[in-house]
Copies of this chain bind each other. A is one copy, B any other.
């Protein structure tokens, strides 16, 4: 299983909490906030935040704030971008149409904000 290797590569110990987090995020189809997750988590919030922070340092997970002013976390899978609707606040993952290299900048991540298809009709 790749979770074990992922963690050992980064010199992180394989613990129940980390396994749980990585399993949740690797099967999630959208970014998740702590608030959405907390009821199903078996770990303390301190452990959640400490591990998320560790995962961010190791570029395993990334994070952004949505329009509801909450942080959403997502595992770094194949490059894709996010669209946050200013009206319904829904977050959609989109295939990135952008080049990952633009005028000397390397683009790792794109967040679009605007009006989604549904709200726009």
Copies of this chain present: 2
Query: Helix, strand, loop or mixed for chain A's interface?
Result: strand
Tell me, yes or no, whether A71 is within 8 Å of chain B by CB. yes
**In the bound complex, how far is the Cα of B97 from the Cα of A97, in angstroms?**
13
1/0 per residue A82-121: CB within 8 Å of B? 0100100000000001101011111111111111110010
A34 within 8 A of B: no
Flag if B112 contacts A110 (CB, 8 Å).
Answer: yes
Q: Decide if A107 touches B117 in the complex (CB within 8 Å).
A: no
User: Once bound together, how far apart are the Cα atoms of A64 and B86, in whole Å?
Assistant: 12
A70 vs B121: C-alpha distance when bound (angstroms)? 34
* A96: min CB distance to chain B, Å: 11
